[in-house]
Structure 1
Amino acid sequence: MLNRLYGRQHGVVGSRPRVTQDTDDVHEAEAFRTMCLQEISAKIEKINDPLLQDSQIRDLNDELNKLMRERRAWDHRVKELGGPDHLRTSAVADGSVMVNNYRYFGRAKQLPEVERLLKSREQENASASGNAKERFLRLNQTDLGPAYYGYEDENELDLRIPNVTAQETPEECALLEFERKRTQELRTSGFEKSAVFDLPQLPTEQEYQDAVVALRKQQLLERLKNR
């Protein structure tokens, strides 16, 4: 604690704290963030060394993932202390790939287990894309037709009433014939003229207009009386 206080007074920044919340000065937080970025850059350069063994590559890749999380934490801390919003501008083209929320940098992408993961992901993406295409094709092969989905122009629709007489089955023909005979019998017996169907005659258009005018006159007269 005394060393950090001395460093603040003389403009010297010590080692990065393990917890970003221990830093209350925005300039100090910016300095720690810069140190983290420098360490990330050095390790990315190192992980591409062709002389590294697979075990060394795995260790470096783990360290880089920890540093990336730490850098993200410093981004949040700087913003909390009133500094610039690095969360919007801190995207870096580091050449890494993300698989299951874990990054692989440089030669780590060439590790056997990582290559299997990447190949499996590509197959899953291809399968998902193929399934979506198959569902689309099945959808368009249904008997509903394009008009059901709104893809057919209304101007091209045939709105003529089809002649279904020629398509009637013998049963339909017999039913229609029965209905015709029954209707003729009812007309002959005077059923249509019975009191049950003697509905009052509807007013004509002129009668309707006259009634509306008379109602308006009555309303105006009542308003004049109330003044």
Structure 2
Amino acid sequence: MARNEEKAQSMLNRFITMKAEEKKKPKERRPYLASECRDLAEADKWRQQIMREIGRKVAEIQNEGLGEHRLRDLNDEINKLIREKTHWERRIIELGGPNYTRHSAKMTDLDGNIVDVPNPGGRGPGYRYFGAAKKLPGVKELFEKPPELRKRRTRYDIYKRIDASYYGYRDDEDGILEKLEGPAETKMRAAVVEEWMEMEKIKAEARRAVKSGAVAEVGAVSKILFEEEEDVVEEERRIEREKEVTEKEKEFVAHVPLPDEEEIKRRVLEKKKQEMLNKYTSSELLEELTEAKTLLNIQQ
């Protein structure tokens, strides 16, 4: 029995294949510009064809073993087909067809999160990466989120969060502090009252002992008397210090008459006059001036 390859090369099979191809319509070519299409059905047909091509190339680009150059070429071809699909979708809207761009797929990163694609042109989608092209050198960094910079808090931000709770003014609002402070306050108040009553009792005993002439030097009475004695001694020392300061101030005695303010001003003026004369007059003129003062009996 002949093999399948030999059957396909037989005269009959080639004749049948040739007749089948003659009956087929000539293969239509997609228009270069979407604006050349005038039929809505044809525009939708060309869009479906582009979608199938995009699907085949997206399935092919998933293979990481194709190499960097082939992956980049495939990614460029896919982006070109996507732009062409956008033109056809816009043309379909112009011919009165449905709006396919409303439900178009979004671009995602390696984790599946939707990301915005920058498009400086402002028309149609931006450049996208598919499959293994996302892991190419220089492309993976585009999908990584930059680390968040920790903003340093200013002094204003620090003080803005400070309220009454920071200073402890609201510690008693939870009810815990009141339960702890109540018994402690009662205990401290009782201790202070007891101490005051004891002191009053001791002072009364001391007064009675002083009036009767007895000497009260035992127990807590001696403590009270000693404290009062200390206060008296301290007061006497303070008075003595003040007296010493007063006596020292009075010790200074001037044994020579001191010039008053007018005399000091006069002497300063004479000294300045003498300095001016020495500066602007000669020695001969000074001698003549002195002689003249002597003859006229002028003291100044």
TM (normalized to structure 1)?
0.48
Larger Rg, first or second structure (1 or 2): 2
- Structure scoring higher RCO (CA < 8 A, sep ≥ 6) equals 1
TM (normalized to structure 2)?
0.37
